[in-house]
Amino acid sequence: MHWTRLWWSTHADSSELLSSAAVIAELERGTSEMVQARLALLVTLNSWRSATSREIVRIYIRRLVMPNDPTGDALHLALASF
């Protein structure tokens, strides 16, 4: 959490920030009042979708690089690496 906050405070302004459906779905989980606070962080970000990233997910899962959860960590890794 410390490193994430440090990155946001020092590098976010010099980066193109994007989100994804995977991130939004993850942030929506839970029942706390923090759900809305987490989602509010994404209001100014564009959402990114890519057919290429979906193919990367399929390859990761097929080759057993990531667990068979196409909306979870495999998708996060595919988006980050693409």
From residue 12, give the alpha-carbon distance in Å to each of 15, 53, 55. 5, 23, 28
In Å, the largest CA–CA distance within the chain is 39
**pLDDT tens digits for range 12-71:** 899 888 888 778 888 888 778 788 888 888 888 887 777 788 888 899 999 988 888 777
Report the pLDDT value the prediction gives residue 16, as an integer from 0 to 100: 85
On whether the pTM is more than 0.95, the answer is no
What residue type is 11 in one-letter code? H
Report the pLDDT value the prediction gives residue 5, as an integer from 0 to 100: 86
From residue 1, give the alpha-carbon distance in Å to each of 6, 7, 10, 12, 29. 9, 10, 14, 15, 18
**Cβ atoms of residues 17 and 45 within 8 Å:** yes
Report the pLDDT value the prediction gives residue 53, as an integer from 0 to 100: 82
